Amino acid sequence: MSNVKPDEVETQTASAATSKRKGHFKRFWWAYLLGFIVVATVVVVPLVLLVAVPRIAQQRLNGATLTIDGISVRNTQTNSFVMAINSTIEADDSVYATIDAFEGTLYLADVDPPLAFAQIEFPRTTSSAMQTINVTQEIQISDQNPLTAFNTALLSSASVKVQIKGNTHIHVQGISRSFPAIFDKTVTLTGLNNFDGLSISDPSINAISATNNFNGTVHIPNPSVLTLEIGNTTFTNYFNGEEIGQTYINNLVLYPGDNTFFTSADIAQLPIINALTQEPFCELQGRLPFQLSGKDVVNNGQVLPYFRDALATNNQSITIDLSEAVENLGIPIECVASSSN
């Protein structure tokens, strides 16, 4: 016994302990497995639930494309209107998820910082790869300015960027809890581009009357997907930099595509007669360039500042061919020497 070195004693003791531990493990392996499962469940599952799944859910939401198929602004009143949006959301369908209903804020994204102009309740959407979301809602106008800014951009630009943003929750199939997510999409809408293509056909002139002495059919192209109930609209007319009268369009509702309305006007006769017969405008042979800018918008007795001011922001150019109407009155369209020879 005495020749056993202390080192060996230790080794023997250690190996005895090892085999003892091995036996313990063999008998209690299930406890270790259970422990491992508990640790895995406690640590890994929440990690998946708290980090991976929400990230996947948010990624799914980020990857989805929102398409605006149509927007209508109807029943327009001074302090409210009814907005309807038809839209389509297309998502990658590898993850089945539901997006909770949420309040989305609509921003004009062409300005920095983006300007909130309306709020819409979006309904809950299910997990299908492609889903239409149609909402109709009355919107109370708390501030005319942002709405006017949006309408100005819509009417005067070729395109306008709209951001729709809101906090929501996502439910992923098979997991009972939901995860917070941000719905944030920016869409580009075609604008009315300052009424590019505006024209008047069949103009009719009354040379005797000082008021209601012009009418015709106005053609207003609307390349956007928006329907706008504007109402009774008055424009100020300019010719050669001077105010020459007012133009009226009643019951103006712009639908996507081409729109035609009856229009009438009170026009000062003298500047027009002079232009038709004197240099330089007589060279145009009756095709005179006018400018229009919005003056009043009243819909069923309600003043609509958010359309009136948007229409007043710019001049819309329009060339009216008066040759036929003027010739019908027996007035020759030709350059005549100024009487002050």
Ligand X SMILES: *[C@@H]1O[C@H](CO)[C@@H](O)[C@H](O)[C@H]1NC(C)=O
List residues near ligand X by CB under 6 A. 69-72, 84, 86, 132, 134, 204-206, 212-215, 231-232, 238, 241, 250-251, 291, 293, 298-300, 314-315
Nearest distance from residue 238's CB to ligand X, in Å? 4
Q: Quick check: 76 and 302 in contact, CB under 8 A?
A: yes
Q: DSSP class of residue 156?
A: H
Which residue's CB is nearer to ligand X, number 15 or number 132? 132
What is the number of the residue whose Cβ is closest to ligand X? 70
Which residue's CB is nearer to ligand X, number 172 or number 220? 220
Which residue's CB is nearer to ligand X, number 137 or number 206? 206
- Residue 194's beta-bridge partner residues? none
Which residue's CB is nearer to ligand X, number 222 or number 299? 299
Nearest distance from residue 293's CB to ligand X, in Å? 5
Q: Quick check: 212 and 266 in contact, CB under 8 A?
A: yes
Characterize the bridge pairing of strands 287-299 and 65-74.
Answer: unpaired
* Burial readout 254-285 (b: 16 or more C-beta within 10 A, e: otherwise): bebeeeebebbbbbebebbeebbbeeebbebe
Phi, then psi, of 231 in degrees rounded to 5: 105, -155
Of residues 248, 290, 278, 273, the one with CA closest to residue 325: 273
Which residue's CB is nearer to ligand X, number 178 or number 227? 227
Nearest distance from residue 313's CB to ligand X, in Å? 6
Nearest distance from residue 101's CB to ligand X, in Å? 16
Nearest distance from residue 321's CB to ligand X, in Å? 15
